[in-house]
Structure 1
Amino acid sequence: MTATSLRLVAHAHTAALRRARFGGPDDGLDEGGLRAALAQAHAGSDRRGHLGEGGACVSSPAAAATQTADALGLLPSIEAALADCDYGDWAGRSFEEIAVEQPQALHSWMSAPESAPPGGESVAAVRERVGSWLDEQHRAGGRVIAVTHPLVIRVAVVHALGLPMATYRQLDVEPLAIVRLTSQGTRWQLRLGAEPRWVDSAMVSS
């Protein structure tokens, strides 16, 4: 059986996250987010373990994810499947604005995973592409660190554990959170606990 170890790392804070706005791919880390990511890297600098020769690091193409990876000292390749939800016409706008201007559309999006913002992508569609990527990792095996978005991690957990789609709303992923999924070739398992060795020295810059 092929063993797989996957660490999903949520990017650090952005202005959109702090202000309850729908994000976009160009949103970078705010000052506090960058400081937090650098502090995380410093805290782990004396406890870097090894993920093995087959280890890899990937990142969402979004600025927040690549900047987080850089701050953590990681050297990722870009993985389009890990991109955040495309919020279409809502990108950059606040929940409050949309609630006033398009209350029915916002209600539909929040209550039905198949509903998408105007010109955007539904959460169900995000799960489909993220789930396909997870299935590929499961078949390939190996050790992977993936820097991505809180919503992507939420739907990844839902897919991996075979939970009802609506469960994603009950999952809360904080900036810089690390979620670990492992498999011995049969099914995914969610592993909770301390992460003393989450960074592979082969994946960090010198």
Structure 2
Amino acid sequence: MTARIVMVCHGSTEALHRAAFPLDEGLDEQGRRQVADAARLFGTGSGRSLCGPSLRCRQTAAGLGLAAEPDEGLRDCDNGHWAGRTLADLQGQDPEGMMAWLTNPSAAPHGGESVLTLVGRVAAWLERRHQEGGKVVAVTHPAVMRAAVVHVLGTPPEAFWRIDAEPLSQVRLTAHGGRWRLRLSPAS
């Protein structure tokens, strides 16, 4: 059975501009414009539409014209007690925790998910999609997209931090015969 997944990163938010671990926030003005501009690229098409349960994912999906069902497997990384705090603030108050988070995939100094746990959760989500087959458009978070790429390419989890996922960027994945492939798309 073949599964095709187009993962789409949610639009811009205030936390992104502040370099902060987000709370459940909506899109900012720039994000709403980005989504409106990109909506023409998304047709209703065939297949299923899913989104992370956060407000920013639901707003992005709706703005793209997708009747997306919230899916807990697409939720953002749980950043524990760091949620709402900026990187600069944490670097000043918890530099050891920040260093552990950025260098050790099994570390979760914030009390939330480690990168390793996130990659495992996303791998399980991908396996369910593979078993179901068909086409899925999934609006989600940068961390979830990075985790999917790490899993699909079989890279060490340390590679997680070397992957950028900008607002409305896409990752196209195809599974056939038990193997995932990542497809790079031309710029639109």
Aligned match for 2:114, one of 113, 116, 122: 122
In 2, the alpha carbon distance for the partners of 1:6 and 1:44 equals 16
- 1:153 corresponds to: 145
In the alignment of these two chains, the number of paired residues is: 188
1:61 to 2:61 alignment: no
| Deviation string, structure 1 residues 143-166 (Cα, Å, up to 9, x no partner) | 000000011000111111211111
In 1, Cα distance between equivalents of 2:76 and 2:89: 21
Give the CA RMSD over aligned residues: 1.5
Equivalent residue number for residue 10 of structure 2: 11
In the alignment, does 2:126 pair up with 1:134? yes
Q: In structure 2, what is the equivalent of residue 168 of structure 1?
A: 160
The answer to whether the 8 A contact 2:49-2:69 is kept is yes
**For 1:49-98, what per-residue CA distance to the aligned partner results, in whole angstroms no more than 9, with x for missing partners?**
733xxx11111001110010011111111110111011111111100100
1:5 aligns to what SS in structure 2?
strand
**Cα offsets for 1:94-135 (capped at 9, x unmatched):** 001001111111111111111113332111111111110101
| TM-score, normalised via structure 1 length | 0.87
Unaligned runs of 5+ in 2: none
Give the whole-Å Cα distance in 2 for the aligned partners of 1:80 and 1:195.
30
SS in 2 for 1:134: helix
The within-5 A match list for 1:92-103 is 92-103=84-95
Give the distance between the partners of 1:28 and 1:189, measured in 2 at CA. Answer: 32
CA-CA distance at 1:44 after TM superposition: 2.2
Query: What is residue 188 of structure 1 aligned with on the other side?
Result: 180
- Unpaired runs of 5+ residues, structure 1, are 197-206
Please identify the structure whose Cα radius of gyration is greater.
Answer: 1
Is 2:102 the counterpart of 1:107?
no
| Structure 1 position 143 matched with structure 2 position 135 | yes
Which residue, out of 22, 41, 46, partners 1:44? 41
What corresponds to 1:29 in structure 2?
Answer: 27
In structure 2, what is the Cα distance between the partners aligned to 1:89 and 1:186?
38
Shift of 1:193: 1.6
